[in-house]
Structure 1
Amino acid sequence: MSRRARRNHTPAFKAKVALAAVKGDRTLAQLAEQFDVHPNQITSWKAQLEGGATGVFGPGGGNATALPAIDVKSLHAKIGELTLENDFLEGALTKAGLLSAKR
């Protein structure tokens, strides 16, 4: 018996198979034959679907990922720090004759 090359299934295909398994109108063996995947894989996809389904109805909605809070004060401080460094380096390079005054 030869081994099959490893296959990568699309998320849409996985969802289709998992939803068919959740419906329960066919056995795992029938689904495995229909979609040409191993029954253990169907069980795994079904568990992933059931585990992730709570995120769809929970706070934040479906595919909206939680963005980290932006600390504006630290960003302004960093901008000021970088501006100061750029001004210092520009002055030093101009004095050394490595940077033209025109720019």
Structure 2
Amino acid sequence: MKRNPHTPNEKAKLVLEVLKGERTLNEIASEHSIHPNMLSRWKNEAIAGLASVFENDAAQKRKEKKEHETEIDELYAQIGKLTTQNEWLKKKIWSVIFLRLQGNHWLIGLVQIFLLSSRPACCQLIELRYTTDTDYQIPMI
């Protein structure tokens, strides 16, 4: 017999045909010009490897689920951290602005740098209405 390399798909089809049991292994082997021992070996390999298909699938799903849960936990931690920083910033920025109103002019530069770095976002963050480059309407507390 001439060696004819078979693809994994061809092997799988032949093994499935053997496992169905509609025809004998020898009939299938002779029809496809394969030695019965070779077909028997493919069948045994397929049966032995069948359990690993399900194990790998389950292990992969567990791994993906764990990674997903870890990512969610990290995102919740990030949300908590940012919320805390946001609340702290809202409280601290008003104390800085009120110090400015009390005549501590050295803080003017700090407030301007902070507000002008990203004007709309910062003004919204501290609930300050921006009107012009130098005029901010400070709500009364």
Q: TM-score, normalised by structure 2?
A: 0.38
Q: Give the corresponding residue for 2:51.
A: 54
Confirm whether residue 32 of structure 1 aligns to residue 26 of structure 2: no
Q: Give the corresponding residue for 1:11.
A: 8
Quote how far apart the aligned CAs of 1:6 are. 2.0
Supply the distance in 2 between the matched residues of 1:10 and 1:57 (Cα, whole angstroms). 22
Supply the distance in 2 between the matched residues of 1:5 and 1:24 (Cα, whole angstroms). 27
Query: After the TM superposition, which segments of 4 or more aligned residues of structure 1 sit over 4 Å from their partners?
Result: none
Q: Percent identity?
A: 37
The RMSD of aligned alpha carbons is: 1.8
Per the alignment, do residues 18 and 30 of structure 1 end up closer, same or farther by CA in structure 2, a change over 3 Å counting? same
Q: Give the corresponding residue for 2:115.
A: none
Larger radius of gyration: 2
Quote how far apart the aligned CAs of 1:5 are. 2.9
Supply the distance in 2 between the matched residues of 1:8 and 1:50 (Cα, whole angstroms). 21
Unaligned runs of 5+ in 1: 65-103
How many residues align? The count is 59
Supply the distance in 2 between the matched residues of 1:7 and 1:19 (Cα, whole angstroms). 20
Q: Give the corresponding residue for 2:123.
A: none
Per the alignment, do residues 5 and 33 of structure 1 end up closer, same or farther by CA in structure 2, a change over 3 Å counting? closer
Q: Give the corresponding residue for 2:17.
A: 20
Greater relative contact order (CA < 8 Å, ≥ 6 in sequence): 1
